[in-house]
A and B are shown apart, each in its own frame.
Chain A
């Protein structure tokens, strides 16, 4: 396997972990905030370095140079591939801007230590492929929000109930999968369990109540950090995509499409901004899942593009709401607040990120959404139309929120509410990403198509997931495949041991 030129992955996982320790030592003062921002920035730069290094390698996957975890555990755990290479900096960026936009007065409620611990877990998760380690990391990631809910004396029943089922299904499914032949139909049962786990984590309707509940009870920052990286979608990619037959994935796509529509419509009847944001996020993340499960390269490309754009845009939208909430407390949408005069820059950013999250032309999500719809039309034409309707509902919700929060009357106060320099910096960084990502989409689309093709090719290895139509449609010409992922000849596929070696 090709090697990066620096242990980017392991260092980027270790830095926030060490940072968490430092922040814990520093307590909750100004210094701890500076330290947390510094750690997040360093982590982001490391993940960016990983991305650049990986792109320059021109390989499908690579592992760290001097992999010190491997020296200790004698196992190559952290690997970056075309799927995760772009997601690692994205997730680090989500943490960076969320921590940057945290007001000092919020420090006692929003634990920076736990935020950094969860960043470390998240980056490790996205650097890991299907294995017990990934299962463990997915379980570990559920702990920080639980701790926060407990510390805030909030009821954890809804969260524990859903996460309990998630963990149960995940562990059972993965354990079961170890004892079945990858080429036999027996794989369908553990596959269904793993799918169930991934769908709960993604908040697919009607298993989404834990997300709305989390947004109600946790701090906004923690809720954003736990939900916007779309870990559920990643679990689908790692656990379900390699073993689920096309019909199975397309059935999940229908469920995701229903969720996208339902959440889009629900966002219109919400009377509080956090809940509206939560349903917007659910709708958009479900659209990503729709694309991922279409099992055609164009839809998959669209979904991977939308994943990136939604990650940036919806986080931006969330932190804007969080900035406003930190100034005027929870925002009711039953009334107009007229905050435009107080915070014109945040108002502009609110519209920009909101529209970008629904794939408005000229923003980063537009092309991805187009590809997603085209991919969907190829599989089921009515599905394509429903994706458009879901996006339209979300678009209406975004502007509804804008009008309610920023217009309609004046907000009489002498307290300055303008964005702080750090907030401005985070807002500007995301804005530029959204705008330039929208103006120059080809590099991102090309790389995502490349990844989609490779993921499709890996599915062709397993007879359960093999798709004749796909084979006709896609020609694998870009890469010289690595030895470990060379698809075996069809005659060899009967040998289950041989196949097990190749299925991720």
Chain B
């Protein structure tokens, strides 16, 4: 009884701390009462600690008591008992969520401390920390979610904060275009997640992960779905995970995301956000056991992503993009591990890779200095690594691989050509038809919006 109430108290602290931070920073911005840099930094540190310490305490208590599954029930957020509809606010602490949430807290904490100095006196300091709070809230919610709807809520918060942070340097067009692209891919892949969530809710009666697994907790549970259902839901979740983790064919957004400030690149695209898709696949991994086709799809996706990631990372000319594609390679391998039914290995891989990549990305701005220091210490140039077997490849293959790598697998071009352009062309045609119809009825040009002015610089009014 004592342990139960302790778990409840600690679990609530872990879950509640990030939304409090978000509320404080959000309402201060909303009411036009901006906090000072120091206050923001202190609040951020406190929020991270109030999540991290209870999470570690829960881990220790779980090890002491032998409990492997703790659920924190915050009641029904929405309920319509007559229709058997419940939006259950449930958070679980198990062998998957505990390590991932601790990882999230540690890396968010490290990046928070780093950013305090990195963005000191920057104009967007408050905006960064507001989005950071949104991200932190989303990560903790996603990693501890006990129902698929709760996971979706966290997932969306992470997506929004990521897209806005990519466009952090908002006075330039390029970061903004990249932010828009990231958001577009997230929204479309998240549609898959939403449909999967509703389908799971529909099939199992509730979105509870416990209800989805007919027996046992993670990772030993058996999915309470038929093979066909597992294939359908699993495919949708795979699309969602591919979008979030930049797996093939959505990898094009990953280098674009590096336009954001280094701390956000480190935490989002190197460490946490990029692993969130893999985390989702791990969370629902018992589904994959229900369908061989689905399992093959997961492994294939992992293999393709790893291969293109490896090729692309070797030919990039800037360190952050190169690290981004290196992350993709590793995430692809993690997906393969999940597909092969090795969840613990995948989990360890996520933790190790996220920590390493955070460190690398945070050191990226001073890479040249580090290299020079090392070369000075060695008294010689650093050896240039190359794969021995590549020299046995025919020259056309090597050239092709270089082109593929350099053009980032033609993935963006493929999506633009195959999806975006036809879509835009079709609806622009409809728009022309609408214009023609209203012009015909009006017997005059009907669109005053054609006179809408561009930015003063574009029209030459301001130099």
Interface residues, chain A, with chain B CB atoms under 8 Å away: 155, 157-158, 161, 209, 212-213, 216-217, 262, 265-266, 268-275, 297-298, 301, 328-332, 334-338, 340, 345, 348, 355, 360-362, 366-367, 370-371, 373-374, 377-378, 381, 384-385, 388-389, 391-392, 395-396, 399-400, 403, 406-412, 424, 428, 431, 441-442, 445-446, 449, 453, 473-475
User: Which residue on chain A has the smallest CB distance to residue B463?
Assistant: A412
CB-CB < 8 A to B454: which residues of A? 332, 334-335
User: Which residue on chain A has the smallest CB distance to residue B185?
Assistant: A396
Q: In whole Å, how far is A158's beta carbon from the nearest beta carbon of chain B?
A: 5
Known contacts A385-B195, A410-B171, A441-B77; decide if A424 and B455 are in contact (CB<8 Å). Answer: no
CA distance A40 to B179 in the complex (A): 40
CA distance A116 to B121 in the complex (A): 48
Candidate in A266, A270, A366, A408 with the most chain B CB atoms within 10 angstroms: A408
Say whether A412 contacts B451, CB under 8 Å: no
Say whether A370 contacts B87, CB under 8 Å: yes
Excluding A268-B423, A269-B428, A378-B202, 6 further A-B contacts by CB distance (< 8 Å) are A269-B427, A329-B453, A374-B85, A377-B199, A396-B187, A442-B76
Say whether A409 contacts B78, CB under 8 Å: no
CB-CB < 8 A to A275: which residues of B? 449
Which 5 interchain pairs have the tightest Cβ spacing? A272-B449, A407-B170, A330-B452, A332-B452, A361-B153
CB-CB < 8 A to A385: which residues of B? 191, 195
CB-CB < 8 A to B451: which residues of A? 330
Known contacts A367-B87, A374-B201, A409-B171; decide if A213 and B156 are in contact (CB<8 Å). Answer: no
Say whether A155 contacts B446, CB under 8 Å: yes
Q: In whole Å, how far is B387's beta carbon from the nearest beta carbon of chain A?
A: 40
CB-CB < 8 A to B87: which residues of A? 367, 370
CB-CB < 8 A to B223: which residues of A? none
Say whether A266 contacts B430, CB under 8 Å: yes
Say whether A340 contacts B170, CB under 8 Å: yes
Known contacts A217-B448, A335-B458; decide if A373 and B176 are in contact (CB<8 Å). Answer: no
Say whether A265 contacts B202, CB under 8 Å: no
CB-CB < 8 A to A348: which residues of B? 29-30
Candidate in A157, A337, A399, A428 with the most chain B CB atoms within 10 angstroms: A399
Interface residues, chain B, with chain A CB atoms under 8 Å away: 29-32, 76-80, 82-83, 85, 87, 149, 152-153, 156-157, 160, 163, 167, 170-173, 176-177, 179-180, 183-184, 187-188, 190-191, 194-195, 198-199, 201-202, 423-424, 427-428, 430-431, 434, 437-438, 441-444, 446-458, 462
CB-CB < 8 A to B424: which residues of A? 268-269
Say whether A428 contacts B180, CB under 8 Å: no
- Tally A-B pairs: CB < 8 A: 184
CB-CB < 8 A to B456: which residues of A? 411-412
Known contacts A213-B446, A407-B176; decide if A265 and B167 are in contact (CB<8 Å). Answer: no
CA distance A337 to B263 in the complex (A): 27
Say whether B78 contacts A445, CB under 8 Å: yes
CA distance A409 to B458 in the complex (A): 11
Task: Choose one: A269, A361, A377; the contact of B152 (CB below 8 Å).
Answer: A361
CB-CB < 8 A to A411: which residues of B? 455-456
CB-CB < 8 A to A424: which residues of B? 32
User: Which residue on chain B has the smallest CB distance to residue A345?
Assistant: B32
Q: In whole Å, how far is A427's beta carbon from the nearest beta carbon of chain B?
A: 9
CB-CB < 8 A to A337: which residues of B? 455
CB-CB < 8 A to B430: which residues of A? 262, 266
Known contacts A409-B171, A442-B79, A449-B80; decide if A392 and B188 are in contact (CB<8 Å). Answer: yes
CB-CB < 8 A to B194: which residues of A? 373, 388
Q: Is the interface of B mostly helix, strand, loop or mixed?
A: helix
CA distance A388 to B152 in the complex (A): 13
CA distance A212 to B439 in the complex (A): 12
CA distance A395 to B187 in the complex (A): 7
Q: In whole Å, how far is B340's beta carbon from the nearest beta carbon of chain A?
A: 30
Say whether B180 contacts A474, CB under 8 Å: no
User: Which residue on chain A has the smallest CB distance to residue B168?
Assistant: A407
Say whether A271 contacts B83, CB under 8 Å: no
Candidate in A441, A442, A473 with the most chain B CB atoms within 10 angstroms: A442
Q: In whole Å, how far is B136's beta carbon from the nearest beta carbon of chain A?
A: 14
CB-CB < 8 A to B452: which residues of A? 271-273, 329-332, 334
Q: In whole Å, how far is A372's beta carbon from the nearest beta carbon of chain B?
A: 10
A–B complex contacts, Cβ < 8 Å, 7 sampled: A216-B447, A270-B431, A366-B153, A374-B202, A377-B202, A392-B191, A408-B176
CA distance A336 to B455 in the complex (A): 7
User: Which residue on chain A has the smallest CB distance to residue B26?
Assistant: A435
Say whether A399 contacts B444, CB under 8 Å: no
Say whether B176 contacts A336, CB under 8 Å: yes
Known contacts A209-B434, A384-B198; decide if A445 and B80 are in contact (CB<8 Å). Answer: yes
Q: In whole Å, how far is A345's beta carbon from the nearest beta carbon of chain B?
A: 6
Q: In whole Å, how far is A432's beta carbon from the nearest beta carbon of chain B?
A: 8
CB-CB < 8 A to A266: which residues of B? 427, 430-431
Say whether B455 contacts A392, CB under 8 Å: no
Known contacts A377-B198, A392-B188, A399-B163; decide if A268 and B427 are in contact (CB<8 Å). Answer: yes
User: Which residue on chain A has the smallest CB distance to residue B169?
Assistant: A407
Task: Choose one: A338, A389, A395, A441; the contact of B171 (CB below 8 Å).
Answer: A338
CB-CB < 8 A to A216: which residues of B? 446-449
CB-CB < 8 A to A328: which residues of B? 453
Say whether A399 contacts B180, CB under 8 Å: yes
